[in-house]
Structures are given as structure tokens and as C-alpha cells.
């Protein structure tokens, strides 16, 4: 058993002083308050928070940070540049890049990530000798970086949707596709859960699965957590209405995908009926504020979803920013901009979005400092130039990922004094990006 003595810790009710967290076999076995440090305790300064959950990630999109802004454009022109990145990725370069990106996440305070994985095969859609080589690269990268992973293995069968119906795959998209739902399922069933990995599922979008395939996909999921991009773009809503006479949410409900294990990613352009359907089905939504503003996607109906009882989680998606504090603040700040009101969400509700709700959407019991939960937590400086003077209970409004000093995953210290066990994260990220850029 290991015990961590925390100067301050955010427990479910409030921030407490002098908290001892006892850990055995990766889980919290005791949470004691108003304690003094004792011999044998690992001491954590600042404020200890539950580990943050990054519920939506595309690791290879990290290559685009700060490289897509010169000529304006929109989501679709950005996508062309994203597709170009895939040409340099194989199992080796994907592992190198993902290890750097996942280490960057850990250093910022993320302790679990949902990787929305659709880059499955080689050029032209030719499977690698191991059909799961790209997924295995992501799993190995997460294990080395010390972050929990839910691999949201993605079914992707068509090249898009316009007024004429579903389009054929283009040359780049062939790498994403298994050709059929049954082929996708056969490949995914060869993957296995572990102590730090969960195998989930994703439908890329209503654009990428024709209606019959979407229904078949819903029928073979079992109890896996399942995610999908939903109503990220107004154009998606228009074409889905033109072809199916339904909104994307309604179309997913028709297929049988809406249930309490489903998460709609982005959920930006929803109708009142969409929100009601999501509420009644128990579905969740994952917002990615830094991506949604970077791509000019829009501001989603966070308050309306929450009022309807829909669980909200958060992700960093394309990694224009990797910072859980920024994503959490983004939800509240976007609401303030569209309503001219402050305090749209209570601090506890915002905190839950960034922690326990994300864990739950990815199939884990974590994100809380309570007995029986996963021993995943982070220590955050309370004396930096960003956090000095900030009330401990309002730390999410002052801190950034740069203030994280220690990260514990499964009771094991992955970051100590700001240094990752793999070494300097700045160097690791730079090397991983260089490895991809130098690939033929």
C-alpha cells in the first residue's frame, strides 16, 4: 500500500486540507481528511485534483497545430490538410507521434484518453500483416506514456454524404475502411482489454455509414462504449435532412445507437427535439471547446443539454491546445459570450465534465477521489504566477496544464516535479513530430 499526503485535495464536496489518499492495487482504499503528514507518506504540494479525462482525441491531428491558419478556410479545407498528414503515418511513425502526444497529455494532467481511431490500414486500404498494427501502435504509445486508453475503434465505410446519397471512399479514406461492418467487427474482436486499456467503438459519423450499415453496427456493439461525431457542421445536418428526412441525432436513434453507453461528440448544432431524444435515451455529449472555436464550428448548447440531464464530457480533439483547464473554462466562457451572463455552470458541474463524466463515457470508474475509484490524480501548483492568490476551490479558472507538477495513474507516479518518467516532454514531443515530418 502507498499513501499520498495532500496539502489540499478536491473531494466531491469541496477542497479539504491535509488529505491522505491510500492506494492499493491501483485503487483508492482510504480518503482521510484533516490529517498530518507522517513517515512514509508521499507528500504532494498544492491542490490535488482527480485525474482529467480527455474523452475525444485524434492523436495524429497534433501535426496540424499552428499550421492551418494562414489562408483562412473552413473545416473542409482544414480536413484536406489533415488528410495529407496520414500519408506519412505507418505503425512506426504513428507510435512515435502518439507517444509524444500522450505524454503531452499526461504532463498537462490528463490520466485517461479516448482515442477516436480510424487510420487502420496501409495506403490504398491494404491491411498490414497485423490488421491491428495501427491500433497496437496507439496502445503501446499509451502504455509507455503512462495514460489509460479507451481505443474507440471506428467504423468508416463511405466517403461522405451529399444530396445524391453516400459517396464512394476517396484514395485517402480507403485507409480508414474495413469494407463492411462484419470485417470491422472481426478486426476489432482481436483486440483485448487490459489493466490500462479498454476497447470501445465509434461510428465515424452519419456521413461515413449508410443507414443499413449504421443499423448493423448498432446491433453488434455489445456493451462497448460507443462514440460518434454528431452535428459538428451545419452542412452535415442539411445533407442528412435531404437524404434521410431526419436530423443526425434522429437518424442515429432510428438506427438504435442512442442509449446510455453512447456519446455524441461535438453535438454543436442540435434541435430541441435532438436534445430531448438524447435525454430520454441516456446518451451523453462530448464538447471540444478549443477545437470547436479553432475550426469555427460554433458553440454547442451546453446549458440546454445539462438542463435536460445529458451528461457532458470534454475532449481536446485535434489538439490545437492540450490543456484540461482550458477545455473546462471554454464551456463556461462560451456560454457567457452567447448569453451575456456569468456563472452559467456551477464550479462543481464544470469540474465533473472534465473528470468523472469523461471517465464514465470511456468505460472507467475514475475521476473522483473516493474509496473504490481508480487511483488517478494530479497535483497542481498553487503558487505559480498563474495561480497565486487563486481560491483553491476555483483553481480551474486560474491554472493551466503548465501548473501540473505530479501525475499519478493507478497509484503510480508518472510525472514527478513536472518531469515525466520518459524524460523532458518538450523534447519528446519535438522528436515525435520530427519523426513524422522526416518520413518518406
Q: What is the pLDDT averaged over residues 215-225?
A: 97
Count of domains in the chain? 2
How far apart are alpha carbons 152 and 135 in whole angstroms? 10
Residue range(s) defining the domain that contains residue 297: 52-361
Indicate the SS3 state at residue 72. Answer: coil
Q: What is the pLDDT averaged over residues 43-62?
A: 97
439 within domain boundaries: no
Q: Does 292 share its domain with 379?
A: no
Q: What is the CATH number of the domain that holds 280?
A: 3.20.20.140
How far apart are alpha carbons 130 and 396 in whole angstroms? 43
Q: Does 223 share its domain with 255?
A: yes
What pLDDT, on the 0 to 100 scale, is given for residue 67?
A: 82
Q: Does 17 share its domain with 111?
A: no
pLDDT of residue 85 exceeding 90? no
HSE-CB at 435 with a 13 A cutoff on CA atoms is 20
pLDDT of residue 87 exceeding 90? no
What pLDDT, on the 0 to 100 scale, is given for residue 1?
A: 87
Q: Does 163 share its domain with 304?
A: yes
317 is catalytic: yes
The active-site residue, picked from 178, 294, 317, 403, is 317
Q: Does 274 share its domain with 134?
A: yes
241 within domain boundaries: yes
pLDDT of residue 140 exceeding 80? yes
436 within domain boundaries: no
Q: Does 122 share its domain with 167?
A: yes
Q: Give me the helices (H) in 272-424, please.
A: 272-281, 289-294, 302-307, 324-339, 347-354, 356-361
Lowest mean pLDDT among 84-93, 168-177, 395-404: 84-93
435 within domain boundaries: no
437 within domain boundaries: no
pLDDT of residue 125 exceeding 90? yes
Choose the final residue of a domain: 361, 393, 417.
361
Choose the final residue of a domain: 323, 340, 361.
361
438 within domain boundaries: no
440 within domain boundaries: no
Chain mean pLDDT for the chain: 96
Q: What is the pLDDT averaged over residues 245-254?
A: 98
6 within domain boundaries: yes
pLDDT of residue 59 exceeding 80? yes
Residue 280 banded pLDDT, cuts 50, 70, 90: very high
Q: What is the pLDDT averaged over residues 277-297?
A: 97
Q: Does 57 share its domain with 44?
A: no
Choose the final residue of a domain: 311, 326, 361.
361
Q: Give me the helices (H) in 190-247, please.
A: 211-219, 234-244
What pLDDT, on the 0 to 100 scale, is given for residue 421?
A: 97
Residue 150 banded pLDDT, cuts 50, 70, 90: very high
CB 177 within 8 Å of CB 125? yes
Q: Does 380 share its domain with 252?
A: no
Q: Does 86 share its domain with 220?
A: yes
- Starting at the earlier edge strand, list the strands of the sheet with 148-155: 52-57, 110-117, 148-155, 197-203, 226-230, 262-266, 284-287, 312-314
Q: What is the pLDDT averaged over residues 195-216?
A: 98
Q: What is the pLDDT averaged over residues 79-86?
A: 83
What pLDDT, on the 0 to 100 scale, is given for residue 239?
A: 97
Q: Does 289 share its domain with 387?
A: no
The active-site residue, picked from 266, 269, 334, 382, is 266
Q: For the segment 343-384, what is each residue's pLDDT rounded down to a tens digit?
A: 999 999 999 999 999 999 999 999 999 999 999 999 999 999
pLDDT of residue 403 exceeding 80? yes
Instruction: For Cα atoms 55, 328, 80, give the angle at the middle one, nearest 5 degrees.
Output: 55
Q: What is the CATH number of the domain that holds 24?
A: 2.30.40.10
Q: What cell was used for 298? A: 460554433
DSSP at 203: E
227 is catalytic: no
Q: Does 184 share its domain with 305?
A: yes
Query: Percentage of residues in the chain with pLDDT exceeding 70?
Result: 100
Q: What cell was used for 163? A: 444530396
Q: Does 266 share its domain with 402?
A: no
Amino acid at each position: 500500500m502507498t499513501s499520498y499526503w495532500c496539502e489540499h485535495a478536491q473531494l466531491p464536496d469541496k477542497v479539504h486540507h491535509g488529505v491522505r489518499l491510500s492506494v492499493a492495487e491501483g485503487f483508492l482504499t482510504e480518503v482521510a481528511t484533516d490529517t498530518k503528514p507522517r513517515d512514509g507518506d508521499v507528500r504532494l504540494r498544492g491542490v490535488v485534483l482527480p485525474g482529467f479525462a480527455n474523452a475525444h482525441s485524434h492523436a495524429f491531428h497534433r501535426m496540424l497545430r499552428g499550421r492551418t491558419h494562414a489562408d483562412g478556410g473552413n473545416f473542409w479545407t482544414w480536413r484536406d490538410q489533415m488528410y495529407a498528414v496520414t500519408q506519412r503515418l505507418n505503425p512506426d511513425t504513428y507510435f512515435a507521434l502518439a507517444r509524444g502526444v500522450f505524454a503531452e497529455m499526461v504532463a498537462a494532467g490528463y490520466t485517461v484518453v479516448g482515442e477516436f481511431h480510424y487510420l487502420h490500414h496501409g495506403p490504398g486500404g491494404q491491411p498490414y500483416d497485423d490488421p491491428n498494427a495501427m491500433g497496437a501502435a496507439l496502445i503501446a504509445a499509451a502504455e509507455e506514456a503512462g495514460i489509460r486508453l479507451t481505443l474507440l475503434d471506428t467504423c468508416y465505410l463511405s466517403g461522405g454524404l451529399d444530396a445524391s446519397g453516400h459517396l464512394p471512399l476517396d484514395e485517402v479514406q480507403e485507409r480508414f475502411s474495413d469494407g463492411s461492418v462484419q470485417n470491422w467487427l472481426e478486426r476489432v474482436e482481436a483486440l483485448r482489454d487490459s489493466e490500462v486499456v479498454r476497447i470501445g467503438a465509434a461510428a465515424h459519423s452519419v456521413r461515413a455509414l449508410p443507414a443499413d450499415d449504421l443499423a448493423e453496427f448498432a446491433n453488434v456493439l455489445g456493451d462497448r462504449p460507443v462514440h460518434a461525431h454528431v452535428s459538428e457542421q451545419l452542412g452535415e445536418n442539411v445533407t442528412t435532412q435531404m437524404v434521410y428526412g431526419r436530423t443526425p441525432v434522429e437518424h442515429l436513434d432510428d438506427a438504435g445507437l442512442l442509449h446510455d453507453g453512447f456519446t455524441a461528440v461535438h453535438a454543436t448544432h442540435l434541435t430541441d427535439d435532438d436534445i430531448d431524444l438524447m435525454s430520454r435515451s441516456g446518451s451523453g455529449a462530448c464538447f471540444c471547446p478549443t477545437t470547436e472555436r479553432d475550426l469555427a464550428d460554433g458553440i454547442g448548447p451546453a446549458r440546454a443539454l445539462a438542463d435536460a440531464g445529458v451528461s457532458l464530457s470534454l475532449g481536446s480533439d485535434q489538439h490545437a491546445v492540450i490543456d484540461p483547464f482550458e477545455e473546462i473554462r471554454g464551456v463556461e466562457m462560451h456560454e457567457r459570450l452567447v448569453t451575456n451572463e456569468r456563472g452559467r455552470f456551477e464550479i462543481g458541474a464544470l469540474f465533473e465534465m472534465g473528470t468523472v463524466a469523461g471517465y464514465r463515457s470511456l468505460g472507467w470508474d475514475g475521476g473522483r477521489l473516493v474509496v473504490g475509484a481508480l487511483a488517478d490524480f494530479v497535483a497542481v501548483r498553487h503558487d505559480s504566477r498563474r495561480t497565486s492568490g487563486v481560491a483553491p476551490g476555483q483553481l480551474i479558472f486560474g491554472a493551466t496544464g503548465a501548473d501540473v507538477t505530479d501525475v499519478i495513474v493507478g497509484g503510480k507516479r508518472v510525472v514527478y516535479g513536472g518531469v515525466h518518467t520518459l524524460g523532458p516532454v518538450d523534447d519528446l514531443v519535438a522528436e515525435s513530430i520530427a519523426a513524422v515530418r522526416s518520413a518518406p
